[in-house]
Every structure is written in structure tokens, then in C-alpha cells.
Structure 1
Amino acid sequence: MIDLLSSVFLWASVPAGAMLAVIVAFHFESEPRTTEKKALGFLVILLFEVPRFAMPFLPQPGLGIPRMIAWPLGGALFALAMGFAGLAATRLGPAVADAPSKDEELQTSGVYGLVRHPIYFGDAFWPVGWSILFGAAYSLALTPLWFALLLVQSSLEERKLVGEHGEAYEHYKEHVPYRIIPKVV
């Protein structure tokens, strides 16, 4: 019998469920965000991130990549993804924790000049580097799920951004056609 707490797929259901909760709850609300909603949002972020950090340490098949290759490759991919997301979060400042707002300046330069959702780029790809670094096949295989959830999230978020920034956001979409991955999507 499989020990459920050591199941990668059980752990994967937690971040998947957290992101689905965000998609359902966050994007269908019309009231301003309260302190309680921000706290709940922080909890959901923890539920999305922490299990994905833990998954490579659970029992699963290895990737078969020699450590001499896996460590620098995985480490570089992880650092690139986290750095990209970190630069984006720094540009947003305190607004990173809030829903799109008319009061916030639309960010269009720096990493926001490459893709419209650079934090999601980092969030989709740090697990790739992390999984390679620790040789975790199932964790790596789950990357398309994280990407798909973030693609849906970004699509719904863009509706709010168009509503908040109107023509300025439409103009931004024309000049930065890629949502998450530069030159791809």
C-alpha cells in the first residue's frame, strides 16, 4: 500500500486545488480586497508554492541525469526563473499582493517589456530547475499542469487588467504579445 503522505500526486493535488480556488474565487469577486482576503490569498500562495518545493524529495523515479550536469543545469534554471519573478515582484512593489487596480501604474518596462506576466514565468519554470536539480521525474512531469493553471489564471487576470487600464492595457498587449514565455506564449 502506498503511503499517501509520500505520494507526489497527493502533494500535487494541493497546489492544483489552491490555484483552482484562486481561479474560481478571486476572479469572480467584485468587492475590494480586504485584509482577510489578502491573508487568504497569502495562504493560497503558500499552498501553491510549498508543496511544489517539497515534491522532489518524495519517492519517485529519478531522471537519470548525472549530478555533474543536473546540479548546474537545474540550479541555473531555478535561479533564472526565481530571478525573473523576483525582478517582476520588485517592480510591482506592494502592489504585488493586490488585485489589479486603476490606482496602480501599469508596468510595461523591464521584465514586463518581455512578457505581460513575468511572475507567472518564474512560477511555471522554477519547478523545472528544482526537479532537475534533485532528479525528480514526477515533479518535472507535472510542469505542464502548473503552466496550464497559470495560463488560465493569467487569461482571467488580463480581463481585470483590461477593465482597470482599458486602452492602455490593449496597447501594451499589442507591444508585448507574449503572456508568460518570451517568443512563445
Structure 2
Amino acid sequence: MSDNTTPPPAGGTPYTPPPAPPVQPTQAYPGAAPVYGAPAAPGYGQPQPPVQPGYGAPHQPYGYAQNPYPVYPAPRPTSGLAITSLVCGIVSLLFSWLFLPALASIAAVITGHMALKKTKNDPTVGGRGMAFAGLILGYVVLGIGVLTIAISLISLLAFGAFTLPFLYNS
């Protein structure tokens, strides 16, 4: 078995290192568990990184501060269909007093369903909330439009049928 020492010069005595001083346990504060292996007196030996109870040795070299800010994952890209659905829903709601927003609300409903399917199948794509909002706005404007047409037809049939002949006869 080798002890990895160099042989002494011819006729000389082998070198033996001096014995190591005994290791004194140190305490970080009164009442703390003793830490063995730390220098007995401050200022001697290598500086020791602080050890937090229950966490073991720190992973960074001594002298570098740890990042105080939490690391968050990168945001997911938003689906273009979800954005389109929301924009069409808002446009159809803002111009609901015209007849043309029916086209925008239909587009909001179609693109909203397509965006929901895309976000469900691909978890790396975001925008599910915008797709729901576009769907809701599209369906609300379509419902208002259907209700407006129904009320207009009923009022035209109920009141218009009796008033138009009397206007022409008088």
C-alpha cells in the first residue's frame, strides 16, 4: 500500500509532518449545536459559509449573495385566435346598435371555440380566459340581436297589421 510520500534522501530520516491541532467545536450562538471542523479562533483558516439549520451546506461559493428574487417560468404565448375572439366580441358589443355586429359576434363565437380547442390540446399556449370572454360577448350580442329581431317582428305583426290599413283608408 502506498502512502503517496516521497522517499527520504539517501541516508536521511523520513519527513513526518507535525501533528494536527485538536479540533475544537464551535457554536454560532449560545445554545446552538456545536459545529466540528470550523476553526477554533476567528480569523484563522478559510472563511466558512453560514449554514442554515435544516438546509445543509449552501450551493454557492462563499462571497456571492444568493438571488433574493424568486425565479418564475417564462410566460406562455397567447393564442392569436383568443385575441381575435375577444376583439370581435368587444367590437360587436360596442356597435350592437347596428346590424353589422352580427358578423363580428359570429366571428367571435367561431374563433373563441377554435381558441378553446387549441388551448386545451396544447398546454404551452395561453389565452383561455380571453377565448371565454370573446365567446360570452359573442353569444350575448347574438342573443340581443335575435331578441331585437323577434320583438321587431312581433310588434310589426301585432300593431302594424291593424294600423297600416287604417292609415290608408282615412
User: What TM-score, normalized to structure 2?
Assistant: 0.32
Instruction: Decide which structure has greater helix share.
Output: 1
Q: Which has the larger radius of gyration?
A: 2
- Structure number with higher relative contact order (C-alpha < 8 Å, ≥ 6 residues apart): 1
